[in-house]
Amino acid sequence: MATKEPSFIERTRRAQLIDVTIDAVARHGYAKVSLARIADNAGITKAAVLYHFRTKDAVVEAAYRFVLDALVEDVAVAVEAVDVQERPQAYVRAMLGHLRAHRGHTRMLIERLGNIAPEHTPEQRWRPLADLIDASVRARGTDGVDSRTLAIITGGAIDAIVTERLHDSEYDSAAAGESLTTMLDAAMG
C-alpha cells in the first residue's frame, strides 16, 4: 500500500520551507523561530505553511532531519573509508569537519541535540559510536573498555567543541579534535 505520491508543488514548497527554517534557526536560534517568520521568509501565510506541515514543530523537525541526514551520511562515508581500528577517530574528525563545512547547519544541530526530544532517546546518539569503539577494541585485543561511557564522553566533547567554535570562529576545532582523538585512543588501550 504505497502512500500517495506528493505533487511537484508539494515537494518544492516543503523543500523551500525546510530551507528557510534552517536559515532562520541559524540566524535567530531554535527558540525564536516563529511560524510567522518562516511563513514570511517563504512569502506565504502561516496557514499555508500549516497546510504543508501539520504543526510548526513538524516543520522544524523536518528541517532538523534534513540537516541530520546530511551529517550522518557524510560521517558514515568517512568512517567506512578507514580501517576498523581507526574508525572512532575518523568519526570524531568527520563530525567536526562536516560542521566546519556546513556552518549554517551547526546551530540547528547543537541546539536540538541538547534538548530532550521525547521520541529520541539518548541511546540513538551514542550507540553508533559505541559500536565503532567496540569493534575497534576487539580488533586491538584490548578489553575492559566501557564503550557506552566512552561514546557518551566523546559525543559530549564534540558538542562542546562545536559550540565553542560557533561562538568564536577563530577557535581551532580541528586541533581540538586531535586532542580528543588522542584521549580517545589512549582510553581504548
Partner DNA sequence: GTCTATACACGGATAGAC
Partner DNA sequence: GTCTATCCGTGTATAGAC
Residues of the shown chain interacting with a copy of itself in the complex, contacts defined by CB under 8 A? 29, 31, 110-111, 114-116, 121-122, 126, 146, 149-150, 152-161, 163-164, 166-168, 175-176, 179-180, 182-183, 186-187
Closer CB to a copy of itself, 135 or 145, in the complex: 145
Q: How many CA atoms lie within 13 A of 170 on its CB side?
A: 0
- Measured distance CA(132)–CA(138) in Å, rounded: 10
Closer CB to DNA, 57 or 73, in the complex: 57
* Least distance from a copy of itself to the Cβ atom of residue 13, Å: 27
CA 63 to chain centre: 11
What is the secondary structure of 3-37 as a DSSP string? PPPPPHHHHHHHHHHHHHHHHHHHHH-STT--HHH
Contact pattern for DNA over residues 27 through 56, marking x by CB under 7 A:
------xxxxx------xxxxx-xxx-xxx
* Least distance from DNA to the Cβ atom of residue 51, Å: 4
DSSP one-letter code for 2? P
- Measured distance CA(143)–CA(132) in Å, rounded: 14
* Least distance from DNA to the Cβ atom of residue 27, Å: 14
Candidates 7-15, 83-91, 119-127, 147-155; binding stretch for DNA (CB under 7 A)? 7-15
CA distances for 9 relative to 56, 157, 168, angstroms? 19, 42, 40
Question: Which entry of a copy of itself, DNA, none binds 73, CB below 5 to 8 A by partner kind?
Answer: none
| Cβ atoms 161, 180 nearer than 8 A | yes
Summarize as ranges the residues that interact with DNA (CB under 7 A).
4, 7, 9-10, 13, 33-37, 44-48, 50-52, 54-57
